[in-house]
Amino acid sequence: MAKFILRRLGASFLVLLGGSMLLFFLVTISGDPLADLRESNADNKEHLIRQRTEFMGLDTPWFQRYGVWLGGIAKCVTLSCDLGTNMNGTDVGSLLGNAAQSTLRLVVLATVLAIVIGVIVGIATAIRQYSGFDYVVTFLAFLFFSLPVFWAAVLLKEYGAIRFNDWIREPTFTLAQIAGTAIVLAVILQGVLGGSAKRRALTAGATLVFVVAAMSYFSATEWFRRPMLGIAFVLLVGLGAAVGATALFSGIRNRRVLYATLGTVAAGTASHLIVLPLLEKGGWGTIFGLLPVALLVSAAIGWFVGGYSRKPATVLSMSVAVIMGMLTIADVASRHWASLLGLKPRPISTIGSQTPNFAGGFWESFLDKGAQIILPTIVLTLISIASYTRYTRSSMLEVMNQDYIRTARSKGLSERVVIVKHGFRNALIPITTIVAFDFAGLIGGAVITEQVFGWKGMGELFRTGLDHVDPAPVMAFFLVTGTAAILMNLVADLAYAALDPRIRR
């Protein structure tokens, strides 16, 4: 395995070297970096031209400048990278750090959401092949996959930012809005859950009543201006997560695992009241300091309660603990939404990743940054969900028709075990490739999204470098995206070996 990894890294290095040389050459011949200064009427035009020529090394051939850049990259071995300066003399390394931080904050969240939602929906459509739910999801998947990113982003800015900011001043629903929303959700949910006509009618009726009651309550109390989740919400969602995770991965009849996850929910609910005053003070140090405590407590619960199922009990208990922690953070953040609206009446901006010179506290800043990231995340997630759903569905359908699946069923194994342990594990192999390349591709694909939403990320760095015929920012972009693509490709190969022992040989 070590020999294989070293061979792949060597080949990848040669690919990066050739690609970087070609890109550097193409950028340098794509235009005149002094064009704007030559047309300038400034008195110090000649001084500005000499200064830019010095910053960019325009008095030397392109291959010599490429050699200087390559020498700076070689210093990364000693953790002292020199990415050069841009046309204004600014260190590209500092620009890359800020840009990468902004883009990764967007890309990582969008990728995780797309993977989780897309894989789950893909499995569900494969299990219910040719059902109404399958047809609807297939249609939506092709629709989202075909959406132009810039068009979807502009629509979200209009309806998710501008009109939402108008509505949040008086967040009430009309009778027509309540009735329309309830009917649409009732039709969708009964189609998703399926079943007999009686079961569909009960599902639609229950959904209709619940949505009407909830929207009426939210409208009457203006809940969207003063939201508060509360401990009851944390407890109910935690119980749902515990029961659902146990039923999916271990089986609801495995009482040891069920008791472990329910015990974690009880501990999380009790700790919710204890840590609330600590979290109110804010600070990432407090949040990340409490995380290992929650993991240790939940691991101990799973270990001692799990009995003969200690391993799954421990893993699921720790997963439920993470969910409980996220619910607690969401509860604390929701208590500060009203104060955010007091500081910023229009909470979702259409430009930028955060509000300049924002004067709020930790949780107000947390909500402000969260509000700014939601729209571009939705755009990237919708585009990626479509591909994950289709690939997961086709992979699961191929696997579920194999002989070993029929053998597993004939042995009397439950459908959950057949799908999760025998089907999904083998269906993950082709999906792993998509996950690896999608993460690297989203960094480059976020160029359009960042431009529409005004994010100062990798896309902005790349576009600015191309517009001004400035190789240094473009090469920094290539260095990050190219390295990410190669590393993700290597991770995919290693994941193959972990999923299928035959590949190791």
Residues 411, 499 share a domain:
yes
Residues 114, 176 share a domain:
no
Q: Above 70 in pLDDT, residue 445?
A: no
Residues 179, 100 share a domain:
no
Dmax (CA) of the chain = 87
Is residue 196 situated within a structural domain? yes
Q: Above 90 in pLDDT, residue 483?
A: no
Query: Can you tell me the mean pLDDT for 425-433?
Result: 79
What pLDDT score was predicted for residue 23? Answer: 92
Which helix (H) or strand (E) is 323 found in, with range?
helix 310-334
Q: Percent of the chain having pLDDT more than 90?
A: 25
Residues 190, 65 share a domain:
no
The CATH code of the domain that includes 67 is 1.10.3720
Residue 395 identity: S
Query: Can you tell me the mean pLDDT for 110-121?
Result: 87
State the residue for tokens 């400034």: 42
Is residue 246 situated within a structural domain? no
* Contacts of 99 by beta carbon, 8 Å cutoff, 6+ apart: 456, 457, 458, 460, 461
What distance in Å separates the CA atoms of residue 376 and residue 374, rounded to the nearest whole number? Answer: 6
What distance in Å separates the CA atoms of residue 60 and residue 68, rounded to the nearest whole number? Answer: 11
* Region of poorest pLDDT, from 13-17, 257-261, 482-486: 482-486
- What the block records as the tokens of 3 is 């020999």
Question: Pick from 193, 221, 249: which residue ends a domain?
Answer: 221
Task: For 37-65, write each residue's pLDDT tens digit.
Answer: 888 887 788 888 888 888 888 888 899 99
What distance in Å separates the CA atoms of residue 83 and residue 96, rounded to the nearest whole number? Answer: 9
Is residue 380 situated within a structural domain? yes
Is residue 288 situated within a structural domain? no
Question: Pick from 186, 221, 256: which residue ends a domain?
Answer: 221
What pLDDT score was predicted for residue 443? Answer: 66
* Region of poorest pLDDT, from 79-83, 314-318, 441-445, 495-499: 441-445
Residue 78 identity: T
What pLDDT score was predicted for residue 1? Answer: 67
Task: For 151-169, write each residue's pLDDT tens digit.
Answer: 888 888 898 889 999 999 9
Is residue 480 situated within a structural domain? yes
Count of domains forming the chain: 2
Residues 389, 498 share a domain:
yes
Q: Binning pLDDT at 50, 70 and 90, where does residue 199 land?
A: confident
- What the block records as the tokens of 96 is 């890359």
Residues 496, 381 share a domain:
yes
Per the structure, the complete domain to which residue 399 belongs is given by 1-126+374-505
What are the beta bridge partners of residue 29? Answer: none
Query: Can you tell me the mean pLDDT for 200-212?
Result: 92
Question: Pick from 221, 246, 262: which residue ends a domain?
Answer: 221
What pLDDT score was predicted for residue 82? Answer: 85
Residues 121, 51 share a domain:
yes
Most confident residue range from 194-198, 249-253, 258-262, 435-439: 258-262
Residues 117, 184 share a domain:
no
What pLDDT score was predicted for residue 146? Answer: 84
Residues 473, 410 share a domain:
yes
Is residue 462 situated within a structural domain? yes
Is residue 331 situated within a structural domain? no
Residues 192, 98 share a domain:
no
Residues 186, 71 share a domain:
no
Q: Cβ distance 330 to 229 under 8 Å?
A: yes
What pLDDT score was predicted for residue 301? Answer: 94
Q: Cβ distance 160 to 379 under 8 Å?
A: no
Is residue 144 situated within a structural domain? no
Q: Binning pLDDT at 50, 70 and 90, where does residue 188 land?
A: confident
Nearest CA among 485, 474, 488 for reference residue 22: 474
| Total-model pTM | 0.81
Q: Above 90 in pLDDT, residue 242?
A: yes
* Helix ranges restricted to H, 194-226: 197-221
* Region of poorest pLDDT, from 130-134, 190-194, 199-203: 190-194
